[in-house]
A and B are shown apart, each in its own frame.
Chain A
Amino acid sequence: MNAALVLEQTLNGLQYGVMLFLMAAGLTLVFGIMNLVNLAHGSLYMVGAYLATAFAHWTGSFFLGAVLALPATLLVGVGVEVIALRTLYERDHLDQVLATFGLILFFNELIAILWGRAAIYTSVPPLLGGHLRVLPGVPYPTYRAAIIVVGVAVAILLWVLVTRTRLGMLIRAGASNRTMVGALGVNIRLLDTLVFGLGAALAGLAGLIAGPIYSVQPGMGEEILIQVFVVIVIGGIGSIRGAVVGAVVVGMVDTLGRAFLKPVLSTVVSAPAADKAGPALASMLIYLLMAAVLFFRPEGLFPARGRS
């Protein structure tokens, strides 16, 4: 284990944290304002990845594909909100979980019909294909570095949107008192749709940048979704700040655990034992972390105010 490898894996952890954040932000906003547990958020991630891939093939350009896929995913999200989810806001969490579970089955199968069950691949655009020299002797893939830059930019934009704009003010007000915002004459339905669309676009963005580095296949959304749950449970549901912190922590712990748990263990126990226990423990690490956080803070690290 050397310093260059540690640096590279730390950057990988950060990059994965960025992806988790893009997903967590939408999920946590939707929960904060509409009080909706949306399992189908992962489906929007998958839709984003597939649309970007399809548009990229069609236009021959990754960037054009991305530019087309974002608003398309947003539209899919708005459609889902208007047709199916809107009626669920007043229902209990159990109904929401089951209905959005039904949506997942639908979307996964729809994608399988359109593109097949096998994974499809896209490649990193040539412009971002090379390596950056982070430090002398430490190359890092440009594409992954770009993801980090995009994620940080989105986080800043989101922060400005929520704290500095009228829409953001409504979002914050809606999270603390939904009825009051409605009573003040704000079109709460439109606000809901906007927020949901924003969340969908962020999930789509995560999906489309995931395309070239992870496999694009039906069900891809759920693998990341459950890790996103861990993120927002750790961060505190409804809190953007919690989503940022939770995403970085989970991304780091997961990535570094997978990379270094085995070699670290082998310094303590025998090599065959470390070989066996390392991967098992690494895959459980973020869940153990979640359990530990909840043991001390049952509401997560940054509990959102105004709801129990």
Chain B
Amino acid sequence: MARGRRALVLGVGGLALALVPPLAAALNQPFYVDLFRRMMIFALAAASLDLILGYGGMVSFGHAAYLGIGAYAVGIPAFHGVDNGFVQWGLAIVASGLAALVIGAISIRTSGVYFIMITLAFAQMLYYLGISLETYGGDNGMRLARRSLFGPVDLTNPAVFYYVVLVILVLCLVVGGHVVDSRFGMVIRAARSNEPRARAIGFSPFRYKLAAFTIAGSMGGLAGALLANQTEYLTPDFMHWTRSGEIMFMVILGGMGTLIGPVVGAIVLLLLEDVLSALTAHWQIVLGPILITVVLFARRGLHGLLAGARPRDG
């Protein structure tokens, strides 16, 4: 997406999202603040996956792992009485980044279907690790005693927490937008486009891909820290592989390689889940075929449908 257009979409979208709390208050529907906050948290997770999936061509099927690590990085210190948000969220970013560094170092050496299966398997390993942590609730998980403390910024106030999430999302999208267009971003995009060619002009893609994988993991971890505060509960289910599949679907639904697309994808998918689950407890029997239809017939996602046959810039 062209730089100017991305800035415009980001500005307009950010403003629209900023209007949600006052509108919800006016309509006396506080539930929407909660729903849209949840959407933005998943939007952050999906956008971070898009960095490596859409721009780097790395089909990571284990992105929920970082969400889970981020959540536990909030929950475990809280369990031991450390409520400082800077400590918790900082830990979330560092720990998930480190996990991504290790997982990436092993999986990026492989490619194609191996890469998909290995990232999936590592995420599942962390899921089982979460289950075996009896101290922290095992497979039932545990309640978060209180939301992260940031001095005067009170996250227990739904609107305040909402704007914190919004600011983080917009900042991450701005940073992400710069990263993908920078020299660094050009290397990972080149490696996605034609790796042998990238090597033949003198790039060694491995370390750039690993760095991108680590950045995406850190962002995913931050989303996890937000999610733990959102639900005030954390369980190994945050890392379940169906969660990874959902995040990936958000990216594809919105349009990969666009950063904004995954945000739209997250909003649409969660809205869809919300609507469908109100209709029937068996909403997944509808969601599954919708997913298949999108993959088969709307390959470039909602962004592709809206933007028409616009070529990618490069």
Contacts and interface: CB of A to CB of B under 8 A. Distances in A.
**Are A and B direct contacts in the complex by CB distance below 8 Å?**
yes
A105 B296 contact: no
A180 to B, nearest CB: 22
Contacts, number: 128
A70 to B, nearest CB: 25
Interface residues of B, number: 45
Given A31-B113, A94-B59, A294-B110, A287 B125 contact: yes
Interface string B29-67: 000000000000000000000000100000101000000
B253 to A, nearest CB: 10
Given A93-B113, A105-B291, A98 B282 contact: no
Contact of B113 (A105, A237, A298): A237
B4 interface: no
The SS class assigned to the A binding surface is helix
A108 B135 CA distance: 31
Interface in A83-97: 84, 87-88, 91, 93-95, 97
B207 interface: no
B284 A105 contact: yes
B292 A99 contact: yes
B285 A105 contact: yes
Interface of B: 53, 59, 61, 106-107, 109-114, 116-118, 120-122, 124-125, 128-129, 131-135, 241-242, 245, 248-249, 252, 282-285, 287-292, 295-296, 299
Interface of A: 31, 37, 84, 87-88, 91, 93-95, 97-99, 101-110, 112-113, 222, 226, 229-230, 232-233, 237, 276, 279-280, 283-284, 287-288, 290-291, 294-295, 298-300, 308
Given A98-B291, A222-B241, A291-B106, 11 more contacts: A37-B113, A97-B59, A98-B249, A98-B252, A99-B296, A102-B295, A106-B285, A113-B285, A276-B135, A298-B110, A300-B114
20 contacts: A37-B113, A93-B59, A98-B249, A102-B288, A102-B290, A105-B285, A107-B288, A233-B114, A233-B121, A237-B114, A283-B131, A283-B132, A287-B122, A287-B125, A290-B118, A290-B121, A294-B109, A294-B110, A294-B114, A299-B114
